Chains A and B, each alone.
Chain A
Amino acid sequence: MPHKWGMAVDLDRCTGCGACVTACHAENNIPTVGPAQAARGRAMHWLRVERYWEGDFPDVRLTFRPVMCQHCDAAPCEPVCPTYASHHTDEGLNAQVYNRCIGTRYCANACPYSVRFFDFFNPQWPKPLHLQLNPDVSVREVGVMEKCTFCVQRIRAVEIDAKAEKRELKDGDVKPACVQGCSARALVFGDLNDPESEVSRLSRSPRGSKLLEDVGTLPKVTYLERQTQV
């Protein structure tokens, strides 16, 4: 049975520190656009921490929700792409082929989670950040869409290693950058087809819910609701 990669986000554990966002930027060669462009809505965070204030002062509560591509099983972004740049892989990933993208930006409009990003300019990195680019991830040119891949390069690397060593993948072998960077261990990644994996267990939790479930996208990220009051 092929893998079906998924994620669980424990909102009780999330402190909103943003380490996952930084790790994602570093791992995936995501350019920073600078304050002027960010103010114009050009910021690119494949993973963002949404911050909401709930209630009226002084009874307010601050909540965080890390939102990345939900790798939906019925992804609205996929069928609208005229060139198959956005499509579904056998392992359930919502893949984006940069070279095939012609930049219609239709996928970004169709995405209910607004987690697809457009390269408004050719990417640039302020020195010395250009020396730390990840060689495993291609740099996207101007005019294409990009988004969270669940760190597909890491998944592939682990799968290839496991195949070379002729062993099965264990739960926890694959860790996307955000999962690795989360010190509170709020993010859990794994195979949803393995009923014993931690992510499967958490996905079955009564605290679990999907983001915008009523849109019918069948997302593969489960959010575990907050129970503590801070």
Chain B
Amino acid sequence: MSAVYALYPDGESAQRAVNGLRAAGFSTGAITVISGEPLEDHEFFDVNKSTWMWYIASAGGFIGLASAAWLTRMTEVAWPLRTGNMPIVAWWPNMIVMFELTMLGGIVAAVVTMFVTAGLPRRRPALYDPEIMDGKILVGVDNPPDAAVVERALTVPGATIKRT
């Protein structure tokens, strides 16, 4: 596996490199950008923003709600024991269990979605450079058809170009 990438000291030069790659015909999906922090105010960071996570979390919450309703009702009916003059299926207390499992379902669904869609965990990062953690921003392309084209597009003042 080969890759060509460059490290940039700031968001502006990284943005220029991304624009260069786009001009050279690379789609946004083919360009890899890696940063040590979220860079909310740059255009290149605005990719892949849309997510179904909110809906999946709601669905997870609904599953939690339904399973809690089933669990409480089923177990109360399975061996009906009377306590304190309350009905066998007492919805007031069951609602508390249902609330907690709704929230648990939502949280777990959101976290699972996050792990799956963010591609975690994985054995080793495909394209990576430890210098990212010192504030550098990596822009690169995995398995480029023509490395020279990529290098040319990545050449922006301040860039350090690397190949693997």
Are chains A and B touching in the complex at the 8 Å CB cutoff? yes
Contact B83 A87 (CB under 8 A): yes
- Are B85 and A87 neighbours in the complex by a CB distance under 8 Å? no
Docked Cα-Cα span, A183 to B129, in Å, equals 94
Q: Which residue of A lies closest to B79 (CB)?
A: A84
- Mostly, the A contact residues are loop
Chain A residues with CB below 8 A from B85, complex form: 73-75, 88, 218
* Residue tally, chain B, CB below 8 Å to A: 7
Q: Give the Cβ gap from A180 to chain B, nearest Cβ, in Å.
A: 29
Query: Which residues of chain B are near A218, meaning CB under 8 Å?
Result: 85
Chain A's closest residue to B85 (CB) is: A74
B84 near A75 with CB under 8 A, answer yes
Write the B70-106 contact mask toward A (1 if CB under 8 angstroms, else 0): 0000000000011111100000010000000000000
CB distance from A37 to the nearest CB of B (A): 31
- B81 touches which one: A75, A76, A77, A84 (CB < 8 A)? A84
> Within the complex, what minimum Cβ distance (angstroms) separates A86 from chain B?
7
In this complex, what residue of A is CB-closest to B83? A78
Residues of A with C-beta under 8 A to B81: 84, 87-88
A81 within 8 Å of B by Cβ? Answer: yes
Chain B residues whose C-beta falls within 8 Å of the C-beta of A208 in the assembled complex: none
- Report Cα–Cα, A88/B80, bound state, in Å: 11
A16 in the interface, Cβ–Cβ < 8 Å?
no
Whole-angstrom distance between the alpha carbons of A75 and B81 in the complex?
13
A79 within 8 A of B: yes
Other than the given A81-B83, A218-B85, 14 more pairs (CB < 8 A) read: A75-B83, A75-B84, A75-B85, A77-B84, A78-B83, A79-B83, A79-B93, A84-B81, A84-B83, A87-B81, A87-B82, A87-B83, A88-B81, A88-B82
